Amino acid sequence: MPDFGTADIHNVLLAGSRSSGKTTLAEALLFHAGEIKRQGTVDAGTAASDFEKEEQAHHYSVYSTLLHATHQGKRINILDLPGAPDFIGQAIACLPAAETMLLVMDPERGIDSMSRVLVKLAHDLDLPVAIVVSHIGEGVARLGPFLSELKEAFGRGCLPINLPADNGAGVIDCLLNGEGDSDVGPVPSFHTELLDQRAKSQTTKPFTSRSSARWIRRT
């Protein structure tokens, strides 16, 4: 096992409401990092983070689970948090240990109360939040309105870095790329908005002092 220095170890929370896709995302991250040879599923009870019999029987996380992956010489500790409101204590206990929260959200469900609570908790601890939009493969029609809802709920700094293209089959970069079309509109407009927001963040206080924008990615 490689010997990682403190600067090469990062703790990331994987949060969101129940059935938003957190555990499925965790499986994909572990698989593509080479930590597991086969992606498990929540329904089959074979997900790495749902190893307790109670979780396998009910098909949702009950406990916070520590996972890990190595990527580009960095050790990434992933804390997969339960999404049911009954177990929010598990999520709260893990917040001080992390440097970033990945908040997984399903556009079909909109912005639920659990997601709002998690963002508020992260904000109170000055913890940056990156939003991961799940279930895009099931259709992109709801994505445009959902982006507007995110801005309204969490501020104008909530902007997409990546967007789906080709009806959800591909991903297009909006931060470093200023050309092309996404499933929700021309990339140049999103690219310009990101650059403008970055410039504003140099002189004004963003949503959290360590993060000037929300990140939206495809899963």
* Cα distance from N-terminal residue to C-terminal residue, the chain: 29
Dihedral, CA of residue 135, residue 144, residue 174 and residue 19, to nearest 10: -20
Q: Choose among 14, 11, 12: nearest CA to 134.
A: 14
Position 105 scores a pLDDT of 93
HSE (side-chain half, CA atoms, 13 Å) at 28: 9
Whole-angstrom distance, CA of residue 65 vs CA of residue 60: 12
Paired tokens of 79: 């804390």
Position 42 scores a pLDDT of 73
Residue 210 has pLDDT above 70, yes or no: no
Tell how strand 170-173 and strand 162-165 pair up: antiparallel
Paired tokens of 138: 């099931």
CB 90 within 8 A of CB 63: yes
Position 127 scores a pLDDT of 94
Lowest-pLDDT range of 3-7, 69-73, 146-150, 177-181: 3-7
What is the H or E stretch that residue 189 is in? helix 187-201
- Which stretches does DSSP call E strand in 50-99? 65-71, 74-80
Tell which wins on pLDDT, 91 or 61.
91
Position 128 scores a pLDDT of 93
Tell me, what DSSP letter sits at residue 139? -
Tell me, what DSSP letter sits at residue 195? H
Point out which residues pair with 163 in neighbouring strands. Answer: 172
Lowest-pLDDT range of 9-23, 25-39, 54-68, 116-130: 54-68
Position 59 scores a pLDDT of 54
Whole-angstrom distance, CA of residue 53 vs CA of residue 31: 23
Burial profile 78-104: b = 16 or more Cβ within 10 angstroms, e = fewer: bbbbbbeeebbebbeebbeebebbbbb
C-beta contacts of 191-194 below 8 A and 24+ residues apart: 193/159, 194/159, 194/161
Q: Which whole number is the average pLDDT over 122-135? A: 92
